[in-house]
């Protein structure tokens, strides 16, 4: 008789654990800032691809297509040629399709997107980091700063 009563609390606990919650499932809420950052990253992806392709083939018009006026004035065609030559000697050329977003930083008036980029003379485990600073304009995103770093 005692064994029957000892089993009863165990059965009650198991039954309580297996009962589904009576509150309906609600979808996970996405932070609007996260949604905005993902949207900007998706819009910036082809811009970054055009920058890298323009750099690898030496096409300044493509490279600077999405620059704002200040950046276009800072990175002239002459400076672009020097940069391309320097990269060819040090890190090599961009390997098409081998870039990925590492992180996105959201600021009040801009976004910084950090890309891991594979160049021919660097190991995949030690990529070049390309930082693209973009701002929203009525005509879409514009690149307002662009830097490269490598250890």
The pLDDT tens digits of the residues spanning 126-148 come to 899 999 999 999 999 999 999 99
CA distance 109 to 112: 10
Q: How many CA atoms lie within 13 A of 108 on its CB side?
A: 0
Q: Decide: pTM greater than 0.85.
A: no
List, in sequence order, every residue forming a beta bridge with 135; answer none if it has no partner: 142
Structure tokens at 124: 């995949």
- Give the per-residue pLDDT at 8: 59
- Give the per-residue pLDDT at 66: 98
């Amino acid at each position: 008789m005692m064994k029957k009563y000892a089993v009863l609390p165990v059965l009650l606990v198991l039954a309580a654990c297996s009962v589904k919650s009576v509150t309906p499932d609600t979808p996970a809420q996405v932070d609007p800032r996260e949604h905005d950052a993902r949207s900007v990253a998706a819009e910036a992806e082809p811009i970054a691809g055009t920058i890298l392709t323009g750099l690898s083939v030496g096409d300044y018009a493509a490279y600077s297509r999405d620059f704002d006026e200040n950046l276009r004035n800072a990175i002239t065609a002459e400076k672009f040629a020097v940069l391309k030559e320097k990269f060819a000697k040090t890190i090599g050329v961009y390997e098409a399709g081998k870039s990925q977003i590492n992180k996105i930083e959201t600021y009040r008036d801009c976004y910084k997107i950090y890309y891991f980029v594979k160049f021919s003379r660097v190991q995949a485990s030690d990529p070049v980091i390309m930082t693209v600073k973009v701002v929203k304009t009525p005509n879409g995103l514009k690149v307002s700063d662009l830097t490269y770093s490598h250890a």
